[in-house]
Amino acid sequence: ASSSSSSASAADEASAQQRSGCVYLIGTGPGDPGLLTLKAFHLMQTADVVLYDRLVTPAILDLVHNDAKMLYVGKQSGFHTRTQDEIEAMLLGFAGNGATVVRLKGGDPLVFGRGGEEMEVLMARGHEVRIVPGITAAAGVGSELGIPLTHRGTATSVRLLTGHLREGAGKEAAAGTANAVADPVDFAVTSADLDTTLVVYMGLGTLPRLAAKLIESGFPADMPAVAGERGTP
């Protein structure tokens, strides 16, 4: 009986491994399909299922092969078609059925793209996860506008910050259950200095307050700055 039970257990494990799919978290860059990596393109041509975000442009979606199942899971301020928990459950479900899953994200999946969270959830359940980097907005928009992120004698470093925190982040910071950032504008101001290029992602909503606080903290009002949205063709 023991031998039979061991054989059944081994068979179940082998079957589970055979059914387990692979999830590719792919960065699509700042919007221009010409900036996609070749690896991203090849995976978009072979995926069984594609889950894509709001910032993935139609021109990039057109590169996905016709037989793939397409699912929109985009989020924007005040309206989420799916919660993060629902998205992760979908990824787990498709991977558990042995599908090759492509998760398309704007920019780079590991730069303010919540790719790390999805990777942790999938790996904890034993699924294979691969990351395909994309050109993050700071690099893509900077190149498009001819703005170097670092420049000898002017900017010796670059900092990437978020202008938007998830709901409840302030309470978590106060309770000590997450990092100590409770206000993204205050954090950006304390992180800024004259020798560093400061890049604030998702910051248009807080831009007026950020500009005012930077000036209040001593930054010159005529310091070069740019605000942009959809910064590449």
- The C-alpha R_g of the chain, in whole angstroms, comes to 21
Tokens, residue 221: 């009002």
Tokens standing for 149?
């992120």
- The catalytically annotated residue of 44, 53, 105, 119 is 53
Residues 6+ apart with CB under 8 A from 64: 44, 45, 47, 50, 70, 102
Q: Please tell me the distance from the alpha carbon of residue 144 to that of residue 119, in angstroms, as a whole number.
A: 30
Catalytic residue among 48, 75, 90, 183: 75
CB 89 within 8 A of CB 59: no
Residue 20: name the closest of 103, 166, 126, 150 by CA: 126
Phi/psi at 72 (5° precision): -85, 125
Polymer length of the chain: 233
8 A C-beta contact, residue 196 and residue 155:
yes
Active-site residue identified among 32, 48, 183, 202? 202
For this structure, is 85 an active site residue?
no
CA dihedral 213, 219, 225, 230 (to 10 degrees): -30
DSSP helix, strand, coil percent of the chain (3-state; round to 5): 40, 20, 40
Examine the residue annotation and report whether 171 is marked as an active-site residue of this protein.
Answer: no
Query: Is residue 195 annotated as part of the catalytic site, yes or no?
Result: no
Catalytic residue annotation: 53, 75, 202
